[in-house]
Amino acid sequence: MKGILNKSILVIDDDLGMLRALQKVLTSEGAIVTCAAWPGEAVETLSNRQKHIDLVITDLRMPMVTGEMLVNALHRHRPAMPVIVLTAFSSPEVKAQCYEQGAVAVLEKPLDSAQLIAAIESALGASPVDDTANVGERP
């Protein structure tokens, strides 16, 4: 828990059930969670300089925008922002594309909370994690 305690995390997913589940898991670990059900809302949140965000978690496939496009847009607003991409439709090519756009991890759905927390801690520099067993090697 120590690695994400009081960290501000923006979660983006058009599936409201997934959004609520992620919010529940992260808040139970002590994170401060902001949810966005569409990418425009996420970009607005990051554009607001009054709102501090430590990390972004985004779904890969959403209506009218891909996770890769969103990662790119998020990095235009906050270049150093760590972004974790979640997907139910993964391939080595998709993962490589996400990493090229600046994602720090690509996790496959369904995922367990321990895997997600480990990826967040790694992205925030709290602890190293070997994600190659579950999410493929980073190119």
Instruction: Quick: pLDDT tens for 28-75.
Output: 999 999 999 988 888 888 877 677 899 999 998 888 787 677 788 877
Residue 107 token pair: 């996790």
Average pLDDT over residues 2-7: 86
Residue 2 pLDDT grade (very low, low, confident, very high; cuts 50, 70, 90): low
Instruction: Answer yes or no: is pLDDT of 125 > 90.
Output: no
Q: What is the pTM of this model?
A: 0.84
Break the chain into its structural domains and give their ranges. 8-135
Mean per-residue pLDDT over the chain, rounded: 83
In this structure, are residues 45 and 65 in contact, taking their beta carbons and an 8 Å threshold?
no
In CATH terms, the fold of domain 8-135 is: Rossmann fold (3.40.50)
Residue 76 identity (one-letter amino acid): R
Cis, bond preceding 79 (omega within 30 deg of 0): no
Q: What is the DSSP letter of 130?
A: -
Closest to 132 measured CA to CA, from 100, 95, 94 = 95
Residue 138 pLDDT grade (very low, low, confident, very high; cuts 50, 70, 90): very low
The pairing of beta strand 61-62 with beta strand 83-87: unpaired
* Tens-place pLDDT, residues 100-119: 888 899 999 888 899 999 99
